[in-house]
Structure 1
Amino acid sequence: MFPGLAPLVTDPRLLAHAGGHGGICDAAAIPGPSGDDAAESAGWPFFGQLIAHDITADRSPITSDPHPGALRNARTPKLDLEMLYSDGPTGSPFLYDTGDPAKFLLGHPDGCDVPRNQQGVALIGDPRNDSHLFVLTLHAALLRAHNRIVDLLRDDGVTDVFDQARQALTWHYQWIVVHDFLPRLVGLPLVEQVLATGGRWFAPPPGQACIPLEFSHAAFRYGHSQIRHTYRLVHGGPELPLFPDLVGFRPVPADRRLDLAMIFDLPGHPPAQRAKRIDGRLPASLIALPEQVTGTVDAAAHRSLAVRDLLRGGITGLPSGESVARHIGVPPLPPDERSWPHSTPLWIYILNEAQHHGGDRLGPVGGRIVAEVLIGLLRADPASYLNREPGRRPTLPAAGPAFGLADLLTLARHAQPAI
């Protein structure tokens, strides 16, 4: 995204110390102020994780390579819910109801799980969405939302229901990213500016999008600092850490079913739990990830998500946060607002910047990267609503004047189960 900026060279041992037990990223070692709840509800960083999975799950058909006999699988990042639909009822029939192929096959009747094979492996378009309870429950909700849209279309006499339902859900999801998710994360003025004038540092031509490293290895890893220390899954239930208690890759236990109203503000329900304020510190459950998530590691420090985030930035040669700030015309944070003594790794800088601005949303560097990339990916997708029907408004029911994620989740709660 900023190819002219020099990479920040930092000793990997320093990065491992900062992100490991007792380092500056360990909330248990350096706790923040008492009461670290942010303004937004606890589910939003998990919705951000779904977006990350979606744009990295996309693939175009295998095409011929210039070298004879060679093949390559070109990846084109899009916000098109391929993580849900995969290759459709024909190419991925195990995801769909054989009695009604326009609908997804659902798991447990109350929507708490997805279909699984006899060994407990999730039958879903992207296995990463089974990594923990929160992203899995959101995935299941989107399946149910699609099925409900199929019912609504049939009520209106539509016959080509699968393709119409897929487009409707995808475009409403894209609308939510632009008009609900991004304003909460980066602020409405920045979203409106990028929509009106386009990206200044990221504006790929149609069909030629990519994911910049500054986004994938730094800015869009902001959500790791928003994970709460513990969560309640239902009213009156126990407080549980994300890992290992809510790890996935298994059928959802009866006592681990999540009410989405506990992590999103849904109409007719009490306010949900809040996300943790962005402050550069991660809860203990992310400083010591379970082996189900990391696999076998060659060093204990590599179980820390903070260490992994820092090493990614170092290995890929990302610039410092200060150099990016100067490049885009933003005054760098003063030394007393940074947790790093000199030039700061971009991921840490973006978290420090968010904390400097209150911890509820990203600051000007992180916000600019995220807004330009997500809107730029939509602009580069010829099938997105921004290209096909930019003036289109949501058509699904909304509880308030503006359609948002809460309305889509409410629609999913009203879907009828099919096993």
Structure 2
Amino acid sequence: MAVAPLPRPHGGVRGADLSRSSVLFGGPFGRIFRALPPADYGADEAANLAALKKLAAAMLAAPDPIRNGPDAEESGIPAAFTYFGQFVDHDLTFDPASSLQKQNDPDALVDYRTPRFDLDNVYGRGPDDQPYLYSDGLHFNLGRALTGAAHNPHAHDLPRSSPAPTAAGAHPARRAIIGDPRNDENVIVSQLQGLFLRFHNHLADKHGDFAAAQRAVRWHYQWVVLNDFLPTIVADTVLQEVLPHVAAGSDLVTDPPKLRFYKPRNEAFMPLEFSAAAYRFGHSMVRPEYQLNPTLKHPHVIFAGDSTHPNLKGFRQLPADWAIDWRFFIDLEQLDWGTEDPEVHDPRNNNRVQLAYKIDTSLVNPLGHLPSTIGADPDALALRNLERGWRMRLPSGQAVARAMGEVPLLDLAINIGKFTGSDPLTPITEIDPVFADNCPLWTYVLAEAVKKPVPIMTSQGTKTCEARLLGPVGGRIVAETMVGLMLADSSSYVAQHPRWTPDAELMENGRFGLRELIKAALAT
């Protein structure tokens, strides 16, 4: 019996079938810098793509050799933030529209996306319209129990469909029954989705009412975005200009946000400068492999793998012993640094928080050949990003910097490679002269990342990692877009109750962030 293939959530490059002469970007998408000319890198499509292919190839990098302790590529930012960023992206770009609606409205003039921090990637259309997501109209269904992490004793896979018929020897498809199927595209974001289901169930027990629990989950999530995620990824000087209350330790009423560039005229929109360039910074933070828990003695690689080093591809039922020990992904508690396990074969991951890679102009080489279930045509992530930006008619990074009143980076300062201090870097104009004062916006955002020393704990004691955070162009686009979307959302805590603070029982030392949200979910 023939079996339908698993959906490819990203497919080809968005915008590949659009005419680059079109100026129609209405509906949910828009531009912050509408008048800036698009960047081109050749006289015709073939020349443009040839230049972008050279740049994409130069941005692919092999990871450093394994060593005991933090390696030079690590940033000091816990790896959980990489996948929280992916989770946020899926929330902002959730698409519940029917295929018929899309056919009738190919230019997306009707806003069938919801550019809001409302967790519709978790809640779907709610218990009335999608009752199969819920056990009793109040709590989410969870999948089968997972083991392997003693510090995550209530771990569950996502609820999944019954296995479809397969050819002899084939692995049955067990598709996740969740609000947004993209949150099952890798093992880490899949289990992060599961944590949000559990966090909702935790607050549902407290409130006893679906609407009240949903609002509480959304507001705690929005708080994490503004008060933890943005301060973790955006340079301090940039964030202080947009969210002065974070540095002042005050609130949104005493020190309200200040937006200079993201100013929707009628309704909130998703800026192409954000979605097709600046927010793709997280691709450079991906590690080539991750240790899931102490029971599994080998790290898991992102995509390609073998029987010894399995991969983290999603869209499948998880093996029973693949529960994530979230202590390996964020600083939930101090691990026992003095008792390293010799059976764990990657010292970088041995009894310490795994750190995201630096925000720089390199991507780890597993992202150079995405599996067909994730994306194709092309399958290199860097080329997909560069081609998307070109087809979406994005301006150059230097043009955006000038429009912001910033002094653009010199061509010699736009270096391609790993920002480790020892690896060789290549000025972008040596890759192709067409990039002189004409850097693709996504690459520019990565190149302008700002240094910040971050202390981390290791088995040898406290050490300092050099993090790189989003700078004046990328940080401003990301921060203003996220803050602007919350200000425009009449149901957000920013709009309804700007003095609101998280539940006191969920805070630790007066703080609530991603760490505390995960701890609350783990208790359920």
TM range (shorter): 0.7 to 0.9
1:259 pairs with one of 322, 325, 334: 325
**1:239-285 deviations in Å (ceiling 9; x for gaps):** 22211310000001234332222111113546511100112111121
**1:313-349 deviations in Å (ceiling 9; x for gaps):** 1111111111111111112112222132111000011
**Bigger Cα displacement from structure 2, 191-200 vs 242-251:** 191-200
The answer on whether the counterparts of 1:228 and 1:275 sit within 8 Å (CA) in structure 2 is yes
The answer on whether the counterparts of 2:406 and 2:472 sit within 8 Å (CA) in structure 1 is yes
Q: Partner residue of 1:163?
A: 211
Residue identity (%)? 38
State how 1:273-292 maps to structure 2 within 5 Å. Answer: 273-292=354-373
2:316 pairs with one of 238, 243, 250: 250
Whole-Å Cα distance in 1 between the matches of residues 203 and 128 of structure 2?
20
TM-score using structure 1 length: 0.88
2:145 pairs with 1:91: no
Q: Secondary structure at the match of 2:356?
A: strand
Whole-Å Cα distance in 1 between the matches of residues 182 and 127 of structure 2?
21
The answer on whether the counterparts of 2:290 and 2:301 sit within 8 Å (CA) in structure 1 is yes
- Cα 1:73–1:181 change in 2 (3 A) is closer
Whole-Å Cα distance in 1 between the matches of residues 114 and 317 of structure 2?
32
Residue 38 of structure 1 deviates from its aligned partner by 0.1
Whole-Å Cα distance in 1 between the matches of residues 292 and 64 of structure 2?
27
Residue 34 of structure 1 deviates from its aligned partner by 5.7
Whole-Å Cα distance in 2 between the matches of residues 141 and 365 of structure 1?
33
1:399 pairs with one of 508, 515, 518: 508
Q: Partner residue of 1:349?
A: 444
Whole-Å Cα distance in 2 between the matches of residues 378 and 59 of structure 1?
20
Residue 111 of structure 1 deviates from its aligned partner by 2.4
State how 1:15-414 maps to structure 2 within 5 Å. Answer: 15-19=52-56, 23-28=57-62, 35-57=72-94, 74-97=112-135, 100-109=136-145, 110-119=154-163, 120-154=174-208, 161-195=209-243, 196-204=256-264, 208-235=267-294, 237-244=297-304, 245-267=311-333, 269=335, 271-294=352-375, 297=377, 302-339=378-415, 340-341=428-429, 342=436, 343-354=438-449, 359-395=467-503, 396-414=505-523
Whole-Å Cα distance in 2 between the matches of residues 52 and 381 of structure 1?
17
The answer on whether the counterparts of 1:233 and 1:259 sit within 8 Å (CA) in structure 2 is yes
- Cα 1:222–1:83 change in 2 (3 A) is same
2:518 aligned partner, one-letter code: L
The answer on whether the counterparts of 2:199 and 2:521 sit within 8 Å (CA) in structure 1 is yes
Residue 393 of structure 1 deviates from its aligned partner by 0.7
Larger proportion of helix: 1
**Bigger Cα displacement from structure 2, 223-232 vs 238-247:** 238-247
The answer on whether the counterparts of 2:138 and 2:210 sit within 8 Å (CA) in structure 1 is yes
- Cα 1:382–1:59 change in 2 (3 A) is farther
Tell me which structure has the larger Cα radius of gyration. 2
Aligned residues: 392
Whole-Å Cα distance in 2 between the matches of residues 72 and 318 of structure 1?
23
Whole-Å Cα distance in 2 between the matches of residues 194 and 73 of structure 1?
27
The answer on whether the counterparts of 1:59 and 1:73 sit within 8 Å (CA) in structure 2 is no
1:108 aligned partner, one-letter code: R
Whole-Å Cα distance in 2 between the matches of residues 204 and 194 of structure 1?
16
Residue 360 of structure 1 deviates from its aligned partner by 2.3
Whole-Å Cα distance in 1 between the matches of residues 160 and 478 of structure 2?
34
Whole-Å Cα distance in 2 between the matches of residues 402 and 186 of structure 1?
19
TM-score using structure 2 length: 0.71
Whole-Å Cα distance in 2 between the matches of residues 329 and 178 of structure 1?
25
The answer on whether the counterparts of 1:24 and 1:30 sit within 8 Å (CA) in structure 2 is no
**Bigger Cα displacement from structure 2, 215-224 vs 283-292:** 283-292
- Cα 1:269–1:337 change in 2 (3 A) is same
The answer on whether the counterparts of 1:198 and 1:376 sit within 8 Å (CA) in structure 2 is no
Whole-Å Cα distance in 1 between the matches of residues 412 and 199 of structure 2?
47
Residue 189 of structure 1 deviates from its aligned partner by 4.7
2:193 aligned partner, one-letter code: H
The answer on whether the counterparts of 2:63 and 2:364 sit within 8 Å (CA) in structure 1 is no
**1:292-326 deviations in Å (ceiling 9; x for gaps):** 1115x3xxxx1110010000011111111111111
**Bigger Cα displacement from structure 2, 319-328 vs 195-204:** 195-204
- Cα 1:9–1:289 change in 2 (3 A) is same
Q: CA RMSD in A?
A: 2.5
Q: Secondary structure at the match of 1:148?
A: helix
1:288 aligned partner, one-letter code: H
Q: Partner residue of 2:3?
A: none
Whole-Å Cα distance in 2 between the matches of residues 367 and 238 of structure 1?
36
